[in-house]
Amino acid sequence: MKNFLDNSQEIISVSEVNKRAKNILEKELKQIWIEGEISSFTAYASGHWYFTIKDKKSSLSCVMLSYENNKILFKPQVGDNLILNGNISIYQPTGKYQLNVKHIELAGEGALLRAFEDLKKKLDLEGMFDPSTKKELPSSPYHIAAITSPDGAVLQDMINVLGRRSPLIKLTLVPTLVQGDKASNQICKAFDLISNLSDVDIIIVARGGGSIEDLWAFNTESVARAIHKSKIPTISAVGHETDFTISDFVADHRAPTPSAAAEIVSQFHSSYPEKINHKQNELINLISSKINTYLILIKNIMKMIRHPGDRLREISQKIDFLDSTIKKELSSRLTLKEQESNNLNKLFLNASPLEYIVNKDVLISSNYNLIKGSIEKIINSLKANLKNNSSTLDAVSPLAIISRGFSILTDSNGRIMRSVEDVKLGDIIEAKLKDGSLNTKIIKKRSVEKN
């Protein structure tokens, strides 16, 4: 038998073959992107995912460890078309080569949309969208807490609506990020902060429109549970009218826009004049009803009183009938009866309700005029105060000054600068303008000579 083995030929073990092949694959096929359809999927108790992807001609084994897949927003399923990123390697004990996956995306349908639907289904099964659990908005809110960004147009739009419709409402801003990885954590902390305030009537969670990625902070489970846990009624006003987030489904009330949310909480105050007129009419009707009741009662009492002349006529007839037999006795009794009659007549006159009725009528009329005058005085005072306060606010508002072309300069600590001596060359200052702010570096200083 011919010996094909050269004495100088290296003989290596199976493990060494797998090791060398592993090094070659990991060097040549590093950080590659692959697209394929899941044909099998297993998630172990360890959290690791083992699955196979395929195309029309081939299949490939894949593994994604738990510390890699815990950042994925969705759980893959058989039939999903995926885009994978990772390294081709060999599992050395078996010699089976596989893709060590670092990142997964859904091809076609976005991962965020899948995560949105999965979370929505989960929370719905828990009953967090149940209308019976929604809290009613208070009829006359006074203190509103707004969870939103302090920058941008959302906050200013809400301030404008409330200032126009309900200037007496107190608005407290709880500033948070509304976009990015840290936004959801800040929103949850804002709810915790507001829960320690005793007089907040309504919470408004607000943000302007954007893509699903921009609005994702309001699609997280932590924010949804913070809204559901809140004991204070919450309005979700995220995005535009066509945008829907998980927050919209969990909140007690949804507003299509932040401005609409401000209109909802201010609609109760806009009806105050109508309510005052309604109460005034109720009071007038109540007083009129009481007067009519007393008049009917007085008329009934007067009908029940018998005129004393009727009794006198009966006595006179009886005297005439007995005159022939007891004239002497009748004379003395007649005198006595006449005296008693006079006393009764005086008693009835003194007990007449006419004077009492007149006094009560005057008192009722006086009270009616007094109440009516007080109500009109209060209404006029409130209108005057509202007008004066609005004029004062407009006059002293720094926004009005800025809108005329001026700006406010502040240093890095937020202190307003009033002199060139307040800054040094190279300092970074902020100029606040009507529609935003500018960061400026001082490259030259020039002082105005004083006379």
Contacts of 217 (CB under 8 A, 6+ apart): 177, 178, 179, 180, 183, 184, 187, 223
Instruction: Please report where in the chains the tokens 């929604």 appear, as a residue.
Output: 134
CA distance 62 to 407: 60
Instruction: Please report where in the chains the tokens 């004393």 appear, as a residue.
Output: 308
User: Beta 96-106 vs 59-64: how paired, if at all?
Assistant: parallel
Contacts of 376 (CB under 8 A, 6+ apart): none
Q: pLDDT 10s digit of each residue in the chain, 451 long? A: 555 556 666 766 667 766 777 777 767 777 888 888 888 999 998 889 999 998 888 888 999 998 888 888 778 888 888 888 888 888 878 778 888 898 887 775 566 677 788 888 888 898 888 988 899 888 888 899 999 988 878 888 888 988 888 888 889 999 999 888 888 899 999 999 998 887 899 999 998 887 777 888 888 889 999 999 999 999 998 877 777 888 889 999 998 888 888 888 887 766 666 667 777 788 888 888 888 888 888 878 777 766 666 666 666 666 766 666 777 776 777 788 788 877 777 776 666 666 667 777 788 888 888 888 888 888 888 888 888 877 777 666 666 667 666 778 888 787 888 888 888 888 888 888 878 888 888 888 887 766 5
CA distance 338 to 327: 16
CA angle 81, 83, 87 (to 5 degrees): 130
User: Contact at 8 Å (CB) between 145 and 172?
Assistant: yes
Distance of CA 33 to CAs 101, 106, 311, 340, Å? 10, 13, 122, 125
- Structure confidence at residue 62 (pLDDT): 92
The two tokens of residue 327 are 């004239």
Distance of CA 46 to CAs 70, 85, 100, Å? 12, 22, 16
User: Contact at 8 Å (CB) between 78 and 41?
Assistant: yes
- Structure confidence at residue 12 (pLDDT): 67
Instruction: Report phi then psi at 36, rounded to 5.
Output: -170, 170
User: Contact at 8 Å (CB) between 207 and 223?
Assistant: no
Contacts of 270 (CB under 8 A, 6+ apart): 165, 166
> Considering only CA atoms, which of 195, 190, 153 is closest in space to residue 173?
190
In one-letter notation, the amino acid at residue 47 is: G
CA distance 227 to 175: 16
> Considering only CA atoms, which of 224, 221, 231 is closest in space to residue 205?
224
- Structure confidence at residue 280 (pLDDT): 79
Distance of CA 238 to CAs 137, 209, 264, Å? 18, 7, 15
User: Contact at 8 Å (CB) between 90 and 25?
Assistant: yes
